[in-house]
Amino acid sequence: MLLAVVRHAESTENATKHSGFYQDPRPWTGRAAHALSRDLVGLTPRGFRQCQWLRTAIEEFVGRDPYVCSSPYRRALDTVELVLPGRDTDVTELLCEQHYGDATYMTKRQLFALHPDTERDRQTRKHLWTPPGEGGESLAGGVMRRAVAFVEGLDGAASAVVAMTHHTTILALRSVLERRPVTELVEEARVRKTPNAGVLVYERRGGGFHQVDTAEPDC
């Protein structure tokens, strides 16, 4: 079995993160900010070009007829629709981005002013940081549990699977698939994240998954 873990193409949030979405003071409630992130944030023109590249890359890695799973976030679903148009897609909460609760789109200054008890974990133990408010989940807790459930659900799956997801969820999936501490992956991500439209390809053999390829767009 082949598994292609894909980060969605560039979104408007990725492109204008510090000039548009993060405002101080934030003009939205935490719930409204999360709804904006989940349901409204779409792709940029660069993201559309990355999807054109992904069409070819995905076919080269896993063939023309993979089983497709996706996060329900709009930027992930838009990427799937452009890369694999008309394809039936298993939309699953297991591939959601980390839920940042009341901290969604909140600047660090405002976050630490309102929730000073979160500063230590956010600054030095990011994998343990649990965002305040309804739905907030840590990488080491909620996101990892979802990643484990997703990988376990691949038993008996199709011979080729595409998982369209997000940066933080990819850290958790890599921890499970590569059997590496999530802390190690967080430190690597401080230097360089999996880029938008980046692809990580794994093959299941010998009772585990082994990374066999990786690619990223040149646009």
**pLDDT tens figures, 45-80:** 999 999 999 999 999 999 999 999 999 999 999 999
Cα separation of 192 and 188, whole Å? Answer: 6
Which residues, in sequence order, are bridge partners of residue 210?
A: 203
Question: In this predicted structure, which of 14-18, 61-65, 96-100, 119-123 has the lowest mean pLDDT?
Answer: 14-18
143-159 pLDDT, tens per residue? 999 999 999 999 887 79
Mean pLDDT, range 25-48, rounded to an integer: 96
Provide the pLDDT for residue 19. Answer: 80
Cα-trace Rg, the chain: 17
Q: Which residues of 69-78 are buried (b: 16+ CB within 10 A; e: fewer)?
A: bbbebbbbbb
Which pLDDT belongs to residue 37? Answer: 96
> Above pLDDT 90, what percent of the chain?
93
CB atoms closer than 10 angstroms to residue 97: 21
- When the pLDDT of each residue in the chain is averaged and rounded to a whole number, the result is 96
Q: With bands split at pLDDT 50, 70 and 90, how would you rate the model's confidence at 17? A: confident
Are 103 and 111 contacting, i.e. CB atoms less than 8 angstroms apart?
yes
Question: Is the pLDDT at 5 greater than 90, yes or no?
Answer: yes
User: Do residues 101 and 30 make contact, with C-beta atoms less than 8 angstroms apart?
Assistant: yes
Mean pLDDT confidence for 11-40: 93
- So what's the pLDDT on residue 18? 76
| pTM strictly above 0.85 | yes
Backbone angles phi, psi at 50, to 5 degrees: -65, -35
